[in-house]
Structure 1
Amino acid sequence: MYPAMTNRLASETSPYLRQHAHNPVHWQPWDQAALLRARSENKPILLSIGYSACHWCHVMAHESFEDPAVAEVMNRLFVNIKVDREERPDLDQIYQLAHQFITRRSGGWPLTMFLTPDGTPYFGGTYFPKTPRYGLPGFPQLCEQVAQAFYTRRGDIDEQNTSLREALASVIPNGAGVAELDAAPLQTARQLLLDNFDAAWGGFGGAPKFPHPTDLAFLLRRAAPGQDEAARKVVLTTLTRMAEGGIYDRIGGGFCRYSVDERWEIPHFEKMLYDNGPLLVLYADAWLLEGDPLYRSVVEETAVWVMREMQSPDGGYYSSLDADSEGEEGKYYVWDRAEIQALLSSDEWRAAARCWGLDRAPNFEGQHWNLIAAQAPTASEVPLLTAARARLFAARGQRVRPGTDDKILTSWNALMIRGMAHAARIFSRDEWLCSAQRATDFIRTTLWRDEYLLATYKDGKAHLNAYLDDHAFLIDALLELMQTEYRPADLDFARELADALLERFEDRTEGGFFFTSHDHEQLISRPKPGHDNATPSGNGVAAHALQRLGHLLGEPRYLEAARRALDLFWPGIQAGPSGSSSLLAALEEALTPPRTIVLRGPEEALRDWRHRLSAMPLHDSLIVVLPNSLMQLPDALNKPRTDEVNVWVCEGVNCLSPITSFDVLQATISKSPKVN
């Protein structure tokens, strides 16, 4: 069926799987054919999970999966299944957690798990070298030992598998009845974050350092002037240090996934869509608080990068950019000092050397420079650095680019739609709003079919059942988009998604939402995740978004489902709220309902009011601007058309009389800070 040295991955849509289509390993995708083969042949499964931008995934592929001798061992002993963790986060969640139970260590990618034919793992790890080093066994020898254990120690393995399945089931929360919610976990979480804050370099803990945008957003809601100065310091210090560090691409815009050091200086160079969307929100909100031009430039440069490099001609956003090019990590991004000096004028070079750390020792592998904001520029250096940046950008464009994972993921698109829409509102940038709307329209027309949402798209093919995150993140993004510019189709889509979420994902007995839909394939576990990871918790975002949509529309079904989710997770966040900032955001608005602000009137006058409102940090508000030209509004938004702007302000079910003065509106929404 396939040419020589081509396996079944050649017909997959995932760029990551296609990277392995010509391995001598007889890779299978995760499907019924591969699983049936393992059962019929009573053969163990070697499951390898990774993603396109993963550096160590590439290393293991080059060392082992491209080696015919290693492939012979794998093909003889196992049914080999390769999974893209971005297309199948359901499998990744289950087997990462199983890895933790089996090895007592955290996981990562590549994830290498050995399964019995029914899919239960009995041994695993992450990266394994081809020959023994780093204290790890050589991969071919490991394969032989693990396969032998499957045949000679089945009794022990079956006993372990029973215990593992019980352990996986034990972490799925069960309903505890109706809870008496209070603000205590909010204060506990705040203190835990402050205690873990690195006061010198920002961020939390030591190396490696991740941005933690959900935790920073939790603190930012408390950081208005005169409120929580400690939270404010954590957020602004962290955002400043990140923007000054090498994790931020100061030539092309956008953030890399994480820093290998505590100073944010040297990243793993992959750029992920899911990081940059929430960071756009954070930096835009920080600019509102502080007015720091550094934050504005980060937002502007990142938004331009997104539209230039991450948006498809059809409108959807691509998933990621690789860390490697020409087989070397970071080669596209780092510089030789002589190369830069040759590109710049003498004045530009002096400014760049001082401000970007080029007058220091090389900071990348002892011989190259990854640019950082080493010194603040003087007023006279600013135009020189602008010119230097343009020259370096043009020169870098002549290099071999890192690979683009050009599949379009619904959940990650939602995070970027929210980021672009939020930044567009704060900075009044129509082109950013247009970008977010194009992506939204692409998702609605391409990945929403017959009232079912799909998870991924590439090369004209949309497929895979969407997950909890796809639905929850997209509802949240649509609420953000509507606040920037109300479109009836966006509200209709949000309601359809909310109804699908309740119908297909809610645990109607215990509360909360499963990660997979009720009609999803049966796996060894069905997670109901509450903790934030690299992306926010689907349950936390679902509860938060359903509450907001419920208040906006006066729809009790959405409010009740959100409350059932909070009741379910309440014992956990009460006992230990760390890592639960998304659920805590929902808790905050359960304790103090969000303020809804509906503006109605002539379009020109509304434009001015919208612009003035965008300059106010209103984390606790949901703002909808409805020009008189809009007709057939839902009952909750069907305000009368007027010759002047009228504003309806409601907190929960309590609504004020219409307001016709912006000064009165400003005083009304500013008089009582709503921070728990």
Structure 2
Amino acid sequence: MSNIKTKEFINWYSWSNEALEKARTENKSIFLFISSSSSQWSQKMYEASFNSDIIIELINERFIPIMVNKDERPDIERYYHKVYSLMNRETTGSPLSIFLTANLEPFYAGSYIPDQDINDQLSLESLLRVISKKYITDYDTLAQKGQEVLSHVNVQEKNIQATKLDINIIKTIQQHSNALLDHEFGGFSKAPKFPNASTLNLLLDVYELEKETKVLDALTLTLDNMIKGGFYDLENKGFYHYAKDVQWTQPYEVKTTYDNAQLIQLYLRAYNLTQNDNYKRVAIQSLDFMLKERKDAKFFSLENEEIITSWNALMVQTLFSASSIDDKYKVNALETLEAILSELYVSGTLYHTKKVNKKATIQAFLEDYTTLGETLISAYQHSLDESFLIMATQFANLIIEQYYEQARWVYSPGNFKVKENIHDMNIPSSVSSALSLLLSISSLVDNNYKKFVFKTLELNSFSLMRQPLSSPKLTQMVLRYLKDDIIIKSNETLLKKHTHDREKLSYPYVYFKVVNQTALNIDNSHSTLRTEETFEKVKQYLKTL
């Protein structure tokens, strides 16, 4: 008989009634570890801290360990991220290491915990020993601390400062972006360098509105440097998550669906604006890489990723944008959109995620409804199929009913209810995506939806007017609200001839609407500006705006 001892592992639970009941029955503290496949610090804890026999034994014997994938359960991650911020008076990234009582009162919140003591920071082993002892000897103090923290999770600000939304915000955007710009290698930070696709999209809007050369120079400097090699994978194509250095040459070698969806669309948009063939080449090569790497015939999920509704919706938007270069991408877009609507939108319920060849179980969050709503608007713009517009309107009604609370938006109305913030993270803020959807419905269906947009922008006006780059997509919605949409109305036959031209127009907020008439009406969201007989004259008029 072999004397070799079998390697033990941590007995991780998922977030479930079983795990919570076990904690209560055994009167053990819960160790909640919330991680991400794209986080290098999460990976370090897997490889070092969680590989120690001593730590494995301590966790299994003295705690109920629960592991949560932040991409699969972003509601839990956001809720406990708020807990972390309240307890530490600072923010953090992945992972989150939270200790709770069996009644879910949080009493310790950390992030990356090393496997060795480092200066004043305890190692995971030391921390586990301290906490497990304190849980027995001073439980009441820990529980009281946790109750106090929870009482502040969803406290609303009493005094909200509002200020006038003014088009002078464009000057602030230009000043702040110029001050933050790396004038040698592009981008808006020191190492590590993230692409900040939302900020670059905002600057594209500003350039199309103002035609300011400095804005275009900042854009092209960044776009050119990001594709020289490193952050952009010259060999296999596609973009990595971020660069470790200022020159964009040393990537953190993880690729995600959400990064590539946003960056490919950014380069497609830049190509339409500049006609720079390098931008077109990079966009198409990266899009083909994403299509090739799909683990499912219809859905996008790169290595170690779940199939996420919002991420796939972003990819569909990108595919629709690419269809102006090659119609085959429209076929891909409609295939994935149909898959989302058939496998992730079941019996009137939208789901957030699913595993390959399995049914979805986790219901959708605000980001899924809003991003998919925007995608349905894109589908209507590229196909002129009214059914997409009808469904987008249904989603708009649903998010107002379930997620909107007096100008504020909640990310999830369930057990982990927390206010959605306005800052763009891995994907744009759900608040800004909600406003994007509502502005589109206001222009294409009913102008009354715009009141929800105004109330949200008014609530956040003080921070937006002073720090517009802190929430770049929401700042885009300020510009769109102030400048207004242009809606080109005509019959389906005429508009279909120009669906590929819409995204190439010189004004950033142009939408098509099918009506029963032969002429081309140029409307804003509340009136007709003029009528033209040819699309060429429409294009000429838009250049004057």
* TM-score using structure 1 length: 0.75
1:234 deviates by 1.8
Aligned twin of 1:534: 426
Aligned twin of 1:514: 410
Q: Deviation per CA, 1:60-82, whole angstroms, max 9, x where unpaired?
A: 22333344432110012211100
Aligned twin of 1:567: 458
1:117 deviates by 2.5
Aligned twin of 2:68: 83
Is contact 2:447-2:526 (8 Å) kept?
no
Is contact 1:225-1:289 (8 Å) kept?
no
1:167 deviates by 4.3
Q: What residue identity is the alignment partner of 2:334?
A: Q
Aligned twin of 1:499: 397
1:237 deviates by 0.9
CA distance in 2, matches of 1:497, 1:163: 36
Q: Deviation per CA, 1:581-631, whole angstroms, max 9, x where unpaired?
A: 1221222222222111134254xx65553444453343121135xxxxxxx
Aligned twin of 1:47: 32
CA gap of 1:267–1:106, structure 2 versus 1, over 3 A, is: farther
Matching of residue 103 in structure 1 with residue 88 in structure 2 = yes
Aligned twin of 1:260: 244
User: SS of the residue aligned with 1:169?
Assistant: coil
CA gap of 1:177–1:264, structure 2 versus 1, over 3 A, is: closer
Aligned twin of 2:327: 430
CA distance in 2, matches of 1:411, 1:226: 32
Is contact 1:77-1:144 (8 Å) kept?
no
1:259 deviates by 0.7
CA distance in 1, matches of 2:92, 2:186: 25
Kindly report which structure 2 residues correspond to 1:13-412, keeping only aligned pairs within 5 A, or say none: 24-133=9-118, 136-170=121-155, 172=156, 180-224=164-208, 227-310=211-294, 312-313=296-297, 315-318=298-301, 320-321=302-303, 404-405=304-305, 407-412=306-311
Choose from 474, 494, 516 the match for 1:639: 516
CA distance in 1, matches of 2:158, 2:442: 25
1:41 deviates by 3.2
CA gap of 1:661–1:581, structure 2 versus 1, over 3 A, is: same
Q: Deviation per CA, 1:148-197, whole angstroms, max 9, x where unpaired?
A: 23333445434533443354334x55695997432354443442222111
1:137 deviates by 3.1
CA gap of 1:109–1:609, structure 2 versus 1, over 3 A, is: closer
Structure 2 portions without partners, runs of 5+? none
Q: Deviation per CA, 1:88-124, whole angstroms, max 9, x where unpaired?
A: 1111112223223333444222321112233332223
Q: Deviation per CA, 1:505-559, whole angstroms, max 9, x where unpaired?
A: 111xx22321003xx2x23x52232221121110111012211112111252x22
User: SS of the residue aligned with 1:72?
Assistant: helix
Q: Deviation per CA, 1:422-448, whole angstroms, max 9, x where unpaired?
A: 2223x2x11211111111111111111
1:671 deviates by 1.0
Q: What residue identity is the alignment partner of 1:411?
A: S
Q: What residue identity is the alignment partner of 2:515?
A: N
Is contact 2:240-2:255 (8 Å) kept?
yes
Q: What residue identity is the alignment partner of 2:505?
A: M
CA distance in 1, matches of 2:532, 2:474: 33
CA distance in 2, matches of 1:42, 1:187: 58
Q: What residue identity is the alignment partner of 1:204?
A: F
Is contact 1:173-1:568 (8 Å) kept?
no
User: SS of the residue aligned with 1:254?
Assistant: coil
CA distance in 1, matches of 2:287, 2:128: 46
1:652 deviates by 1.7
Is contact 1:177-1:567 (8 Å) kept?
no
CA distance in 2, matches of 1:577, 1:64: 40
Choose from 347, 354, 371 the match for 1:457: 354
User: SS of the residue aligned with 2:23?
Assistant: helix
1:656 deviates by 4.1
Is contact 1:128-1:138 (8 Å) kept?
yes
Is contact 2:381-2:499 (8 Å) kept?
no
Is contact 1:417-1:439 (8 Å) kept?
yes
CA distance in 2, matches of 1:173, 1:447: 36
CA distance in 2, matches of 1:546, 1:175: 26
1:86 deviates by 0.3
Q: What residue identity is the alignment partner of 2:537?
A: V
CA gap of 1:147–1:187, structure 2 versus 1, over 3 A, is: farther
Choose from 372, 384, 393 the match for 1:486: 384
Aligned twin of 1:595: 486
CA distance in 1, matches of 2:300, 2:387: 20
The alignment of Structure 1 onto Structure 2 pairs a total of residues equal to 540
CA distance in 2, matches of 1:453, 1:260: 37
Q: Using the TM superposition, name which of 297-306 and 178-187 deviates more.
A: 178-187
User: SS of the residue aligned with 1:97?
Assistant: helix
CA distance in 2, matches of 1:187, 1:35: 52
How many percent of aligned residue pairs carry the same amino acid? 24
Is contact 2:273-2:504 (8 Å) kept?
no
Q: What residue identity is the alignment partner of 1:538?
A: S
CA gap of 1:317–1:261, structure 2 versus 1, over 3 A, is: same
Choose from 617, 622, 630 the match for 2:511: 622
Structure 1 portions without partners, runs of 5+? 7-21, 322-403, 625-636
CA distance in 2, matches of 1:618, 1:23: 61
Q: What residue identity is the alignment partner of 2:476?
A: A
* TM-score using structure 2 length: 0.92
Q: What value does the CA root-mean-square deviation take over the aligned residues?
A: 2.6
